[in-house]
Amino acid sequence: MLSMQELEAQSAVELPNRELLALVTVIVAGVSIDVPINVAANICGVDVNVLAKQLDHGTTTCTASSG
């Protein structure tokens, strides 16, 4: 169980619009893959809302590398 102090320390964030949960095409090593926008944002290392705003203006690119 959580104490009142732990509960009060919790925070909530607003979920993105349903349209932000749509699939986007990611090209990895020349292969096109349709993934949810949150996965694409994770790959690009940006916030979902930032990526969605970029996509509103057309195609966007990012560079990701594995470690």
Structure confidence at residue 48 (pLDDT)? 81
How sure is the predictor about 25, in pLDDT bands with cuts at 50, 70 and 90?
A: confident
With respect to residue 30, please indicate whether it lies within any of the assigned structural domains. yes
How sure is the predictor about 16, in pLDDT bands with cuts at 50, 70 and 90?
A: low
Q: Cα dihedral sign for 60, 41, 19, 23?
A: positive
With respect to residue 61, please indicate whether it lies within any of the assigned structural domains. no
With respect to residue 45, please indicate whether it lies within any of the assigned structural domains. yes
With respect to residue 6, please indicate whether it lies within any of the assigned structural domains. no
Domains: count for the chain: 1
Tokens representing 42? 């994770």
pLDDT over 70 at 49, yes or no = yes
Q: Give the pTM.
A: 0.53
With respect to residue 48, please indicate whether it lies within any of the assigned structural domains. yes
Taking alpha carbons only, the member of 19, 22, 28, 16 closest to residue 61 is 28
With respect to residue 8, please indicate whether it lies within any of the assigned structural domains. no
What domain range is 31 assigned to?
16-56
With respect to residue 40, please indicate whether it lies within any of the assigned structural domains. yes
